[in-house]
Amino acid sequence: MAALIPDVVEDALVIVEPPSRRRWPRLRVWRAVVLFIAGAYFLIPIYAGLRFSFENDAGHLSLYAVKAIPSEPGFSAAFWLSMRLAVVTLALTLVLMVPTSVYVHLKFPRLRRLLDFVTILPIVIPPIVLILGVLRAAPLWLRASPYLLSLVYVILSMPFVYRSLDAGLSAIDLKTLVEASRSLGGNWLNTLWRVVVPNLRSALLSATVLTLALVLGEFTMASLDLWTTLPVWIYQFQQVDAHVSTAVSMVSLVGTWLLITLIVSLDRSQSRRARRRTKNS
């Protein structure tokens, strides 16, 4: 057979052979390499942080840093301040953004592009510029309150929250749902609370997670406004005891992760319950 086919044709046959057998293993190797590099990029700092948290000054394994966290001066106040700011920011953001997004989608859909642009501004403007401007403009009584930070965090979280809500609202037939509710006697509040919000569960969840992550990790503004939130405390305490400070970072990382997992699993279990109810009926 080979003798009957000239060499050139044989080469051509080799070229047109299905590529799958030769290329797939190479692709799999590349995937593994990319995954490994990305994994290392995320995991090495966490591993280093964890290892440093479980070491004493002599470099031996020790739980002293973790055990010392609750009793360290200022930790408790910083922790609860961050928690309060997170809750207030989340509440303010959702109360402000949910009705606004719904209203724009319903009544002024053309303004969505403008809102897209406006809500992206906090990403473009450096936090330091934003907080200095706010500190100059805010009245004294507000400057004296830590909740000024919440007001600024609302602005910072807007790009993420608006995009989550916008995607959620675009995924439902908002106009029809609202009109159906109104024709059945629902007022605006009932319509929002019983019809719109439950159908935005995933979007709200995503907005919540992003807002919490942002508030619990924000350093620049809190530091410039002279409030000791958890990230500021971690930074300051680094100069006293770097092991404890790193341990707090790790605990706060794990804590945030647990919080997010809890919220997501609550959402999933609710969906599962609904499915089970339907199956049993």
195 belongs to the binding site for another protein (CB under 8 A): yes
Q: Which of residues 80-99 bind another protein (CB under 8 A)?
A: none
Dihedral over Cα of 43, 163, 269, 212: its sign: positive
Integer angstrom CA distances of residue 165 from 57, 159, 182, 236: 48, 10, 22, 36
Identity of the residue, 30 or 193, whose beta carbon is nearer to another protein in the bound complex:
193
186 belongs to the binding site for another protein (CB under 8 A): yes
106 belongs to the binding site for another protein (CB under 8 A): no
The residue type at 222: A
269 belongs to the binding site for another protein (CB under 8 A): no
CA angle, residues 26, 29, 34, in degrees to nearest 5: 125
176 belongs to the binding site for another protein (CB under 8 A): yes
167 belongs to the binding site for another protein (CB under 8 A): no
Q: Which of residues 196-255 bind another protein (CB under 8 A)?
A: 198-199, 201
Contact 78, 228 (CB under 8 A): yes
Identity of the residue, 200 or 209, whose beta carbon is nearer to another protein in the bound complex:
200
- Full 3-state SS string of 36-101: HHHHHHHHHHHHHHHHHHCECCCCCECCHHHHHHHHCCCHHHHHHHHHHHHHHHHHHHHHHHHHHH
The residue type at 168: G
In the complex, the smallest distance separating the C-beta of residue 170 from another protein, rounded to whole angstroms, is 15
Q: 138: left (phi > 0), else alpha (psi -120 to 50), else beta?
A: beta
Contact 218, 85 (CB under 8 A): no
Stretch that binds another protein, among 13-21, 84-92, 146-154, 191-199 (CB under 8 A): 191-199
In the complex, the smallest distance separating the C-beta of residue 108 from another protein, rounded to whole angstroms, is 15
Q: 86 CB contacts (<8 Å, ≥6 apart)?
A: 211, 212, 215, 216
119 belongs to the binding site for another protein (CB under 8 A): no
Stretch that binds another protein, among 3-11, 50-58, 89-97, 193-201 (CB under 8 A): 193-201
In the complex, the smallest distance separating the C-beta of residue 106 from another protein, rounded to whole angstroms, is 11
Integer angstrom CA distances of residue 140 from 135, 137, 145, 229: 9, 9, 9, 20
185 belongs to the binding site for another protein (CB under 8 A): yes
In the complex, the smallest distance separating the C-beta of residue 114 from another protein, rounded to whole angstroms, is 20
272 belongs to the binding site for another protein (CB under 8 A): no
Stretch that binds another protein, among 115-123, 175-183, 215-223, 233-241 (CB under 8 A): 175-183
In the complex, the smallest distance separating the C-beta of residue 165 from another protein, rounded to whole angstroms, is 16
Which stretches of the chain bind another protein, using CB under 8 A?
172-173, 176-177, 179-187, 190, 194-195, 198-199, 201, 274, 277-278, 281
